[in-house]
Structure 1
Amino acid sequence: MQDWGPVLISLVLFILLSPGLLFQVPGKCRAIEFGKFQTSAISILIHTILFFALDAVFLVAIGVRINLGS
């Protein structure tokens, strides 16, 4: 059996935390901007830190496991 939890959690977090897709921290004009499809170097850094922090919480601290098969 294979554990698909890390793969699915990381994929969903990567999509949701892509800078400029849903939101951007910090934005060009405000602290948080939604749906601008623009990004900056500091925004990429902050979203990267958020991704790895949330990924670690879900995979290590909580221990999400998704086993497919019998």
Structure 2
Amino acid sequence: MADWGPVVIATVLFVLLTPGLLFQLPAHGRIVGFGTMHTSGLAILVHAVLYFALITIFLIAIGVHIYAG
């Protein structure tokens, strides 16, 4: 049986934390920008750190597992 938990969690977090798609931390001239579709190097760094922290919490600390088959 395959464990699809890491794949699903990583895909969902990647889509949700893409800078500029839903929100951007920090935005140009503001702290948070929603749906701007623009990005900067600092925003990419902040979103990468958030992605790493959340995927670590979900996969290692909580241990999400989804079994198929």
Please report the TM-score for the alignment, with normalisation by the length of structure 1: 0.98
The corresponding residue for 1:29 is 29
Which structure 2 residues correspond to residues 1-70 of structure 1 after superposition, within 5 A? 1-69=1-69
Q: Which runs of 5+ in 2 are unaligned?
A: none
2:19 maps to amino acid: P
In the alignment, the residues of structure 2 paired with residue 23 and residue 15 of structure 1 have an alpha-carbon distance, to the nearest angstrom, of 11
Percent pairwise identity: 57
- How far 1:20 moved relative to its partner? 0.2
Instruction: Give 3-state SS (helix, strand or coil) of 2:29's partner.
Output: coil
Aligned residues: 69
- How far 1:29 moved relative to its partner? 1.4
Instruction: Give 3-state SS (helix, strand or coil) of 1:10's partner.
Output: helix
Please report the TM-score for the alignment, with normalisation by the length of structure 2: 0.99
Instruction: Give 3-state SS (helix, strand or coil) of 1:30's partner.
Output: coil
Q: What are the Cα deviations for residues 13-35 of structure 1, in whole angstroms up to 9, with x where unaligned? A: 00000000000000001100000
